[in-house]
Structure 1
Amino acid sequence: MTYDSQKRATAAYRKRSVKQLVIRFYPNENDENMYAWLKEQDNTTEYIKSLIRKDMHNERELP
């Protein structure tokens, strides 16, 4: 059982510490294809983070 005080503390922590982004996909063919691909992934958050890590790694390797 989760108490109201714990819910408030968790919400306060998230507001203070957790960063969040929103991605919007519009009803056009390119965005719809990307959205469908993303939804097929087992863990969309980890998938996006892995793409960012790869991109960051590739940026470091460039002269």
Structure 2
Amino acid sequence: MLRENEVAEVLQRWESMMNKTDKEKAPLIQHFEEERKKSNQHDEKIHQPVSHLPLNFVLSLSIRVL
């Protein structure tokens, strides 16, 4: 979720980008794509199942819950 100040910042950048030439836009677009990829990778890490954890650790957690 974006905060109000983040939304305002994005809108300001969008407006300033609309006035730029294609040559000026290229690095900005590239930076945006890189940040989007980082964000997607972070989301994937959050939603990964616990299957990457050692089985003994997962079982010990299960036993503690029971």
Larger radius of gyration between Structure 1 and Structure 2: 2
Q: Which has the higher contact order (CA 8 A, sep 6+)?
A: 2
TM-score by length of 2: 0.34
More helix by share: 2
TM-score by length of 1: 0.36
